[in-house]
Amino acid sequence: MGLDEGMASRARVRAPELVGEGGWLNTGGKDLTLADLRGKIVIADFWTFCCINCLHVLDELRELEEKHRDTVVIVGVHSPKFVHEADHQAVVDAVARYEVEHPVLDDPALVTWKQYAVRAWPTLVVIDPEGYVVAQHAGEGHAHAIERLVEELEQEHAAKGTLRRGDGPYVPPEPVAGALKFPGKAVRLPGGGFLVADSGHHSLVELAADGETVLRRIGDGERGLVDGAAPRFSEPQGLALVPEGLELGYDVVVADTVNHALRGLRLADGSVTTLAGTGRQWWQGSPTSGPATGVDLSSPWDVAFFDGRVWIAMAGVHQLWAFDPAAGTVAVAAGTTNEGLVDGPSAEAWFAQPSGLAVSPDGEKLWVADSETSAVRWVSRETNEVRTAVGTGLFDFGHRDGAAGQALLQHPLGVTALPDGSVAIADTYNHALRRFDPRSGEVTTLATDLREPSGAVLVDGDIVVVESARHRLTRLRLPEEAVQVESVAHRTQRAATEVAPGTLRLDVVFSAPTGQKLDERYGPSTRLLVSATPPELLVSGAGADTALSRELVLSAELTEGVLHVSAMAASCDDDPDIEYPACHVHQQDWGVPVKLVAGGASRLPLVLAGLE
């Protein structure tokens, strides 16, 4: 497709205004309108800060944002899933935490989300310099396609005289002062001090036993994947001490999250080596096992030595992986990459952004903080099965104590095994420390008024909590009696889509980027996986196939549920003169809450790339 043909074929849909009750961030206090941005190519990034795929897209866009800074304005439209994410200060913290260097609209009531008919996090909408929507992309892997489109729009609107070059409206916020900046997790060192993953400073910090005095910093504060005596990290999170008696040449394993790598730290001299990962993000179709430094990883968030291996909370693909330090290999240990809460044999279980790991004192259980299902799960060493202790699924969350079957958490990021066999939970979005006791089956609250706790460390009879959004470690006495809190329960704020019982046509819309075509040299280049919660919602149409359209049959016996849709498409350069064409994978998972009503929709379109 040529430039003129591509431009002529685009629908002329006027972009709705960008509005949100929370106002604007990163603009120096100025409220922006689309009229202010006329003449620029605008990319509206609908995101929420809990979502690992949204964080991947922030990183994908950094290079494009820098390269086209005089013609492109990226606007983050923050659209919350969890109640905590509707808190304005939490959005302010997230924008600083993830180094978002463009204007952000805080839209806690999802007003702009609804105006743009967005159905998934993340979604990118491209608006041309005259204010018309020209493309929409859901999920990850679209940066190359958007860059092609940006280059086309630059040419077209430069020729028309409608392109306005120059600085955009971004105004950087005041920097956060202090030794720590959004620390992730911590471990206690043999000498009594602490090693902290100082995620916001892209480094590790050794603190004295008081939890405050800085003894040394490992890393210079700049993002990078550099080994040796002057190492660099990128938003490191999880840490695991090498067990006593195990000689590996390093003392701590580091989950170097945004580098998609595991690193090994030698405490004696502060030198670092890369143990696993290539620095590239894992995509569907990439190897899932092999020599550790030759296999791509995806946002490893925590690590723990369990059953002879280093288990990895692989948040980016909703799985647990394991690194064998003796063999130097890595492989999937649990999970399918499908996002949700499904128990059973490890190879069949579903997770949703696992972000914290801890091993029980007897070594029989690996506790897992499964953040997007607001759940605490565990893996049994004996049976290699996954079970759920607390949590019900992707859309139910809150702060409710009592019997585990009805207790609620809100996006927990950390778990800490306690000596009595119970587990402390960094209940991040509830700003609380919770406890689950397997013997009584009860959930209690140990402490409140924490600020986004992301991990905790036992120190004698106390517990030291990483208060990520207060940039500090906080020491608490483990109470004899749990704190009493008023019970609250929430469901995600997204409105359910009204559909009719019976036949529902599911269409995933995908258009290959200009200059590319679907890559079918080695077989089908698309994949569609459909399931439902509860499973009885789907009378037929569940399972995997290669077509991006499918006829589903919904039960007339149910009134509501969730459709889980996972789509993937691979496209490659469409030029016979290119010997080695560049190929790209586009993928997205949707969880679509549906309400079954007479007269509801009989077709459900989901845009992966293109325009509906």
> pLDDT grade, residue 3 (50/70/90)?
very low
Report the DSSP beta bridge partners of residue 416. Answer: 424
User: For residue 521, how many other CB atoms are within 10 A of its CB?
Assistant: 8
What's the whole-number mean pLDDT along residues 554-558? 94
Per-residue pLDDT at 523: 59
The mean-pLDDT minimum among 11-20, 89-98, 128-137, 291-300 falls in 11-20
Per-residue pLDDT at 480: 66
3-state secondary structure 425-463: EEEHHHCEEEEEECCCCEEEEEECCCCCEEEEEEECCEE
> pLDDT grade, residue 39 (50/70/90)?
very high
Report the DSSP beta bridge partners of residue 323. Answer: 310, 330
Cα Rg of the chain, angstroms: 24
> pLDDT grade, residue 10 (50/70/90)?
very low
Query: In terms of Cα–Cα distance, which of 316, 338, 320 is closest to 57?
Result: 316
477 has pLDDT over 80: yes
Q: What is the pLDDT of residues 447-466, one digit of tens each?
A: 999 999 999 999 988 999 99
Query: In terms of Cα–Cα distance, which of 434, 435, 399 is closest to 420?
Result: 435
What's the whole-number mean pLDDT along residues 288-308? 98
Helices 143-160 & 52-67, crossing angle to 10 degrees? 40
CATH topology of domain 13-160: Glutaredoxin (3.40.30)
In terms of Cβ atoms closer than 10 Å to its own Cβ (0-12, 13-18, 19+), residue 335 is buried
3-state SS, residue 66: helix
Taking the C-alpha atoms of residue 313 and residue 308, their distance in angstroms, rounded to an integer, is: 16
Per-residue pLDDT at 174: 82
Q: What is the pLDDT of residues 174-192, one digit of tens each?
A: 877 799 999 999 999 999 9
54 has pLDDT over 90: yes
Q: What is the pLDDT of residues 259-271, one digit of tens each?
A: 999 999 999 999 9
Question: Using omega within 30 degrees of 0 as the cis cutoff, is the peptide bond preceding 122 cis?
Answer: yes
Cβ–Cβ < 8 Å for 508, 606: yes
Query: In terms of Cα–Cα distance, which of 399, 422, 426, 432 is closest to 412?
Result: 426
**Phi, psi (deg, nearest 5) at residue 609:** -160, 130
> pLDDT grade, residue 6 (50/70/90)?
very low
Taking the C-alpha atoms of residue 522 and residue 462, their distance in angstroms, rounded to an integer, is: 58
Report the DSSP beta bridge partners of residue 447. Answer: 433
More confident residue, 589 or 231: 231
Q: Do the bridges between strand 497-499 and strand 104-106 make them parallel or antiparallel, or are there none, so unpaired?
A: unpaired
User: For residue 557, how many other CB atoms are within 10 A of its CB?
Assistant: 10
The mean-pLDDT minimum among 46-60, 422-436, 486-500 falls in 486-500
3-state secondary structure 90-106: HHHHHHHHCCCCCCEEE
591 has pLDDT over 90: no
Q: Which two tokens mark 142?
A: 């679209």
Per-residue pLDDT at 481: 65
Per-residue pLDDT at 520: 66
86 has pLDDT over 90: yes
Structural domain spans, the chain: 13-160, 497-609
* Mean of per-residue pLDDT scores for the chain: 93
7 has pLDDT over 50: no
9 has pLDDT over 50: no
8-state DSSP, 383: T
Taking the C-alpha atoms of residue 307 and residue 321, their distance in angstroms, rounded to an integer, is: 13
300 has pLDDT over 60: yes
Per-residue pLDDT at 285: 84
Amino acid letter, residue 306: F
Q: Measured between alpha carbons, how far is residue 230 from residues 40, 207, 221, 253, 583 in Å?
A: 41, 19, 11, 17, 35
Per-residue pLDDT at 12: 76
CA angle 466, 471, 473 (to 5 degrees): 35
Taking the C-alpha atoms of residue 263 and residue 265, their distance in angstroms, rounded to an integer, is: 7
> pLDDT grade, residue 611 (50/70/90)?
confident
Amino acid letter, residue 239: L
- Please report, in angstroms and rounded to a whole number, the separation of the first and last CA atoms in the chain: 19
Q: Measured between alpha carbons, how far is residue 273 from residues 137, 263, 298 in Å?
A: 37, 6, 18
Q: Whose structure tokens read 């109470």?
A: 479
Query: In terms of Cα–Cα distance, which of 149, 107, 157 is closest to 129?
Result: 157
Cβ–Cβ < 8 Å for 75, 31: no
5 has pLDDT over 70: no
484 has pLDDT over 90: no
374 has pLDDT over 90: yes
What's the whole-number mean pLDDT along residues 304-323? 97
> pLDDT grade, residue 13 (50/70/90)?
confident
Percent of the chain with pLDDT over 90: 82
4 has pLDDT over 70: no
**Phi, psi (deg, nearest 5) at residue 60:** -60, -35
